[in-house]
Chain A
Amino acid sequence: MLAYAAKRICLALLVALTVSIISFGLLRLSGDLAQALAGQSSTAADVEALRKAYGLDQPLTVQYLEWAGKVLAGDFGDSFFFKEPVAAMLAQRLPVTMLLGASALTFALVLAVPLGVVAAMRPNSWIDRLALTLAVLGQALPSFWFALMLMIVFGLTLRWLPISGTGTWQHFVMPSIALGYYATPAIMRLTRAGMMEVMASDYIRTARAKGLRMPTVLFKHALRNAVIPVVALAAVQFGFMLGGSIVIETIFALHGVGYLAWESITRADFPVVQAIVLVLASIYVVLTLLADLLNAFLDPRIRIA
């Protein structure tokens, strides 16, 4: 387990390093930074002065190392547009996105896992067919369009839920559904396949031969083994949701990182974009790392090797 964990952590660090180089490159690609910092009405002398002041005349490797050092200390530089530290902006917006991601994932899991289990218990029954049909339809639904449809039905026609803003928990209901439904087909299929495979296994027959009651067989012996791959998938899906939050937050004007990313891209505020790419990628790396470690912990064949 320790050797496995060490190897896995090394990989995560390497990926994080590569991602940081890519997002560093992103800002450099966006044009002359000194010019951008100085603004449209600046003189050539101003620009040169800024270039010196920010170390932009140094070789790229030196610039990268300096930048990376600052990032590790929590300094992502200043926003071109707001002229304030990016870190502070992120700290303010990140909780909203994390909350949105968490509630979307919860929605997906609460819907998909029981559906997958029931479908596996009664293969080819009406509920199995219904679940599979929902999965197929769900996978083809464009999320931005689904979000707008939710808005029209629940926000405008029924007036049950607010259509934009961040104020209350009600503001999170539609965005969570719009973001979370896209993950349900994959989770449901995996749960269903896992449960079917496990329920047909010899050790489930053993458990039944011991006279264990059905709930014990299902929840202790079957689900435990069937959800191991679902854990990893859920982590990956959470990462995708953070990425997808850019669409959903923009539609619902939810003031999270995704909305900030879109605003910053349209304002060409690249230090912010760069920081968001880096932060979201890092969260994904950490999540998948945790999921893999949790997986290893849940499976004694890896835990005690």
Chain B
Amino acid sequence: MTAEALDSAKILEPSPVTQLRRRIFGHAGFLFGAIVIAAMLAMALLAPLLAPYDPYDQDLARRVINPIWHDDGKWAHPLGTDQLGRDYLSRVIYGVRISLLIGFATMIISGVLGTALGVVAGYFGGRVDMVITFLITTRLSMPVVLVALAVVALVGGSLTVVISVLGLLLWDRFAVVMRSATMQVRALDYVAAAQAIGCSAARIVTTEIMPNILNALIVVATLEMAHAILLEAALSFLGLGVQPPLPSWGLMVAEGKEYMFFSPWLITIPGVALFLLVLAINLLGDGIRDITAPENRN
């Protein structure tokens, strides 16, 4: 190949923006996740407009109506009604609010806590690192579900309690990942350069380290959001999460459990909703990792 040919090859290389766009649209998982999450967000925001009924409205005359795909299903209640005659579609639509709220709020609390601990441990190392590593190990040895159940039982179940408990329990992965990411970045020359010109630790962490561990942080944040949503559902399912009559999907599965022999859709519908939301969040996280750092893909 001649020198001119090499130059033209360089010109043919697409711009970074084009490359990014190609990677985004070439990533089926990311696209699926993004679309599902956008739809779920829209559902949460527009719930009063989308839901045909009030999710708390009971109508004991219309209990356990079958959904539309059954022969006796009615368009008035496309997903049927539950054991108290509440419209199931409306409850599923309002349920996404609870899952997203819990997932997001828990992720923020545990993210702030875990990232702070992880970055401090990774940046300062030595004794500080030892203490924080010890905290992480201790936290990991406590069974999450059991501790969360016990605390909810002691304090009483409510949305705030569930969010606080999960937020205070799920910081471990943030801390572990941020700690090792910080350690890696800290060893790089530009951090040493920043120290050499006398930047404060706080300045180095915010301007030199945080931007470089942001990718890892976003990925953990999505994973932990999914984790929190699953845990809330499990706690509510066991009766020690958010309390009735809130339309939590986990709670809906628990309430439908007694009827699962004859009306299995009472548990399949909220279960599928939960599965789709968690799947979409996980795919979005994987997608962000693949798209922003394709070289880390295995």
A binding-site residues for B, Cβ under 8 Å:
11, 14-16, 18-19, 22, 26, 29-30, 136-137, 139-145, 148-149, 151-152, 156, 192-193, 196, 236, 239-240, 242-244, 246-247, 250, 261-262, 265-266, 268, 270, 273, 276-277, 280-281, 284-285, 288
Contacts and interface: CB of A to CB of B under 8 A. Distances in A.
Which of the listed residues A142, A262, A288 has the most CB atoms from chain B within 10 Å of its own CB?
A: A142
B85 interface: no
B159 interface: no
Interface of B: 29, 134, 137-138, 140-147, 149-150, 153-154, 226, 230, 233-234, 237-240, 250, 253, 257, 260-261, 264, 267-268, 271, 274-276, 278-279, 282-283, 286, 298
B144 A243 contact: yes
B278 A15 contact: no
A276 B146 contact: yes
Given A22-B142, A148-B253, A265-B149, A140 B267 contact: no
A243 B253 contact: no
A243 B239 CA distance: 17
Given A11-B134, A266-B153, A156 B29 contact: no
Given A148-B260, A250-B238, A26 B150 contact: yes
A192 B297 CA distance: 13
A277 B142 contact: yes
Chain B residues touching A, majority SS: helix
Contact of A247 (B147, B237, B257, B298): B237
A15 B134 contact: yes
A36 to B, nearest CB: 12
Contacts of A142: 230, 233-234, 250, 253, 271, 274-275, 278
Contacts of B134: 11, 14-15, 18
Contact of B283 (A11, A136, A144): A136
A285 B240 CA distance: 27
A236 B237 CA distance: 25
Contacts of B237: 144-145, 247
A18 B134 CA distance: 10
B154 to A, nearest CB: 6
Nearest to B277: A140
Contact of A136 (B143, B230, B286): B286
Contact of B146 (A193, A243, A268): A243
B102 to A, nearest CB: 14
Contacts, number: 128
A203 B282 CA distance: 36
A243 B145 contact: yes
A143 B237 CA distance: 11
Contacts of B140: 236, 239, 284, 288
Contacts of B150: 26, 265, 270, 273, 277
Contacts of B276: 140
B146 A277 contact: yes
A244 B147 CA distance: 11
Contacts of A145: 233, 237, 253, 267, 271, 274-275
B267 A277 contact: no
Which of the listed residues B145, B261, B268 has the most CB atoms from chain A within 10 Å of its own CB?
A: B145
Given A15-B138, A244-B145, 11 more contacts: A14-B134, A144-B238, A144-B250, A145-B237, A145-B267, A243-B145, A276-B146, A277-B143, A280-B146, A281-B143, A284-B140
A265 B152 CA distance: 9
A149 B265 CA distance: 11
Nearest to B267: A148
A148 B271 CA distance: 10
Q: Which 5 A-B pairs give the minimum distances between C-beta atoms? A: A243-B143, A140-B279, A145-B271, A140-B278, A281-B141
B253 A277 contact: no
A285 B140 CA distance: 9
Nearest to A196: B298
A116 to B, nearest CB: 11
A242 B271 contact: no
A193 B257 CA distance: 39
A242 B147 CA distance: 13
Contacts of B257: 148
B141 A19 contact: yes
Contacts of B274: 142, 145
B154 A29 contact: yes
Contact of A285 (B29, B141, B271): B141
B262 to A, nearest CB: 10
A143 B154 CA distance: 25
A270 B151 CA distance: 11
Contact of A284 (B141, B153, B279): B141
Contact of A277 (B137, B138, B147, B238): B147
Contacts of B260: 148, 151-152
Given A140-B275, A142-B274, A266-B239, A149 B142 contact: no
